[in-house]
Amino acid sequence: MDISARPEIIDYANIDELGKLTQYNESHFDYHLEAILKHPLVQVDAIRSKKFHIVLDPINSTGAMFVPVLLRALGCTFSLVHGSVHGDFAHNPEPLPEHLTDLCDAVRADKGALGIAVDPDVDRLALIDEHGHLFGEEYTLIAVADYVLSLKKGNTVSNLSSTRALRDITLLHGGQYAASAVGEVNVVEVMKKTNAVIGGEGNGGIIVPDLHFGRDAFIGIALFLSLMATKNMPVSEIKKTYPSYFIIKSKMSIPVGIDLSANLDQLSSSYEGADVSRIDGLKIDFDDAWVHLRASNTEPIIRIYAEANSVEKATALAEKIKGDFLNQLAK
């Protein structure tokens, strides 16, 4: 095609005039580590005084290189599970209970104050309490947000599929909560619009905007250790201070040829008394529970997440909504 014949020609900048080159004499991680240690909410001295012993599972990836450096800087001792850096993951990176059994066992055996699991690119953070029990990846953000909001008043953001506990904690601290579509970039967009002081996703992704607008397990670790040091409570007791919710995750196949958006519109009309959002699929908020339906970006399925104050209630809600949706399709 002759681009000169096109009606509009975009005039791009010369490649030598794009942005600017900044040269650092230190490594990028050293620069990042210094920024974390200087962050006003990271209680370096308090953490060092506690001499926490941490058990770390970096899943044989980059976390084995860098998380120990952070822990040493914070005066923590540590032991490693799956700590070789060769990229042959010892288990599925998804921080589910069945994938973290080695870490849970090691926390108990080593009498660790905390177990830490990070994903291969160290942007998601899952925690294990001193008894070797999962803290819950949804509650990583809750704990860090509670700590941040106790010292810095402001707003919070998480995606529609994340626990309601963040809203509860935010309101308790006098802030406003907002929900975004699923995806880190969507969370960041809403954080910027609402001037949020903390945000993230229920998969253990922490975003601290005055450090940078990206999920970051390093700052999450530093802030959680600050919470432990200042509360002077074991991790299991810290968890008990937060609202107790349970999320179940289900899915169903999407029949070929259906108009999904139209069917979700019809389904939402059946729940006019609830708080309904169509930002990303369909989310229905009830007084004591919620359910979120959204199409997968990679598979011909609908993901169905439901949360309530018990596993049984969350499961029953997801099954009811699934049944209502199937009935809607049958009409």
Share of the chain above pLDDT 90, in %: 80
Domains in the chain, start-ordered, CATH in brackets? 28-240 (3.40.120.10), 246-330 (3.30.310.50)
- Read off the pLDDT of residues 62-85 as tens digits, 9 standing for 90 and up: 999 999 999 999 999 999 999 999
> Above 60 in pLDDT, residue 161?
yes
C-alpha span between 183 and 240 (Å, rounded): 29
pLDDT tens-digit profile of 274-289? Answer: 999 999 999 999 999 9
Q: Cβ(322)–Cβ(304) under 8 Å?
A: yes
Supply 145's token pair.
């947000």
CA distances from 138 to 121, 144, 149, 247 (A): 19, 11, 17, 9
* Environment class of 73 (CB within 10 Å of its CB; exposed 0-12, middle 13-18, buried 19+): middle
- Average of pLDDT values for 298-313? 94
Alpha-carbon separation of residue 300 from 6, 136, 181, 203 (angstroms): 38, 28, 19, 22
CA 218/CA 308 separation, integer angstroms:
30
- Mean of the per-residue pLDDT values for the chain? 92
Query: CA dist 276 to 6, 10, 37, 268, 291, Å?
Result: 45, 42, 42, 7, 10
Amino acid 4: pLDDT? 43
CB 56 within 8 A of CB 78: yes
Euclidean distance between CA atoms 12 and 182, whole angstroms: 33
Q: How many Å apart are CA 259 and CA 262, to the nearest integer?
A: 5
pLDDT tens digits for range 18-39: 777 777 666 788 999 999 999 9
pLDDT score, position 328: 79
Does 180 have pLDDT greater than 50?
A: yes
